[in-house]
Amino acid sequence: MMNLNRRDFNQLLSKGLVASGLIGPFSFAKTKNTPRPEKKLGIALVGLGSYSTYQLAPALMDTEDCYLAGIVTGTKEKEKEKIWKDRYGIPERNVYNYQNFDTIADNDAIDIGYVVLPNSMHADFSIRAAKAGKHVICEKPMAVSVAECDAIITACEAAGVKLSVGYRMQSDPYTKEVKKYIKERTFGDPLFVSSDAGYISRGNPDQWRLNHELSGGGALVNMGVYSIQTSIYGTGSNPISVSAQEFSTRPEYFKATDETITAQFEFPNGAVGHMFTSHNANGNRLKVHCNDGWFELEPAHSYGPISGRTSKGNVISFPHQSQQALQMDDFAKHILTGSPNVAPGAMGKRDMIIVEAIYKSIREDGAKQNLDLGDMGLVS
């Protein structure tokens, strides 16, 4: 197998080599300075919506330890779309639908199933992938309930496969820098964290994200998990309580799902946090105030480039890389070398515990919900 970056791939594509099947995935050899796994793992994208098509599949052209090996779709037309064969060289035997998905167990070319389906389908297909002996990446949110998270974790443990949640930001260098600031107390102890995550939805009112049966929630389960995540790694600890409020200004559009939610966290060291998430207002920011300065990212969780600054006058800047490529490579390395799993199932379950507590607080008119999370899901 050979690694191709996007530029090399496009050059080969223009010569017709990829489409003709003359160029396939090649393996990495270990080098003296940068030892790498000998094998690249094959990933099957389970669900071919916009995120798979326009983010994950292109990112898999830039990965080093995994590649796009197969696809799974519930739409007959997508099975036949030329892009998957012509651009990505996927053979017919690696194309599956929802009905024959379980036969993926017999395909040694596929090592990982990346579940990128509506939220209510995450548990079913993650469990089916695990039972088929495939490692699992489950897109965020991990599931629509804590009980479903438990079922996924149990299935993966029983099958002896690895599990990761699609938290691309956990592999991003800006996130790692924030964690470093907190660990090394670069600006002292964190006192207050503010995190925003939202966008204005003007699309089809019948889209699955606005269908509670398919999504399991609205802005909170879609964008709010970014606010939850940044609040946690912006303080270096899990919250011990949460209180929340919900607001709606377009009830005719957001008929079944939450539009805008704010929540307040308390942390073990006495720090407090405020998060905001919405499908009807823009927000993309993390700011952490410490007792010896502050730092912020804005944007904080877009596909990039990210941008940041600090009270010391520093600009936080790293070369832009595909977060999705970094994320999938991190999981492949975890499988191949035993490196840390930067987004384990326990992290996805922890976040769903917080999501359920936020919804419960809203139902109880903002009443504080105590959380007993310990170090659950935290990865340094």
Q: Which long-range contacts (CB under 8 A, 24 or more apart) does 83-86 make?
A: 83/53, 85/19, 86/18, 86/19
Is-contact 256 230, C-beta < 8 A? no
The amino acid sitting at 73 is T
- pLDDT at position 346 over 60: yes
The active-site residue, picked from 140, 162, 333, 349, is: 140
pLDDT bucket at 13, cuts 50 / 70 / 90 = very low
Res 2 pLDDT > 80? no
Instruction: Report whether 286 contacts 296 (CB < 8 A).
Output: yes
- Which comes out higher in pLDDT, residue 57 or 19? 57
Residue 181: active-site member: no
**Residue 312, CB-side half-sphere exposure with 13 Å CA sphere:** 10
- 3: pLDDT confidence band, cut at 50, 70 and 90? very low
Q: What is the pLDDT of residue 25?
A: 37
Q: C-alpha 337: how far from its chain's center?
A: 21
SS3 of residue 244 by DSSP: strand
Could you tell me what percent of the chain has a pLDDT over 90? 87
Residue 40 catalytic?
Answer: no
Contact between 225 and 188 under an 8 Å Cβ cutoff? The reply is no
Q: How large is the average pLDDT for residues 96-116?
A: 98
Q: Which of 115, 81, 99, 25 is nearest to 345 (CA)?
A: 115
> Model confidence at 27, in pLDDT bands (50, 70, 90)?
very low
pLDDT digits (tens, 9 = 90+) for 190-244: 999 999 999 999 989 999 999 999 999 999 999 999 999 999 999 999 999 999 9
Q: In this predicted structure, which of 19-28, 198-207, 273-282, 337-346 has the lowest mean pLDDT?
A: 19-28
Q: What's the rounded mean pLDDT across residues 3-16?
A: 38
* Domains delineated in the chain: 6-168 (3.40.50.720), 169-319+345-370 (3.30.360.10)
Dihedral of alpha carbons 362, 367, 368, 369, sign: negative
SS (H, E, C) 25-85: EECCCCCCCCCCCCCCEEEEEECCCHHHHHHHHHHCCCCCCEEEEEEEECCHHHHHCHHHH
- The single residue of 226, 233, 333, 349 carrying the catalytic annotation is 226
**Residue 37: predicted pLDDT:** 57
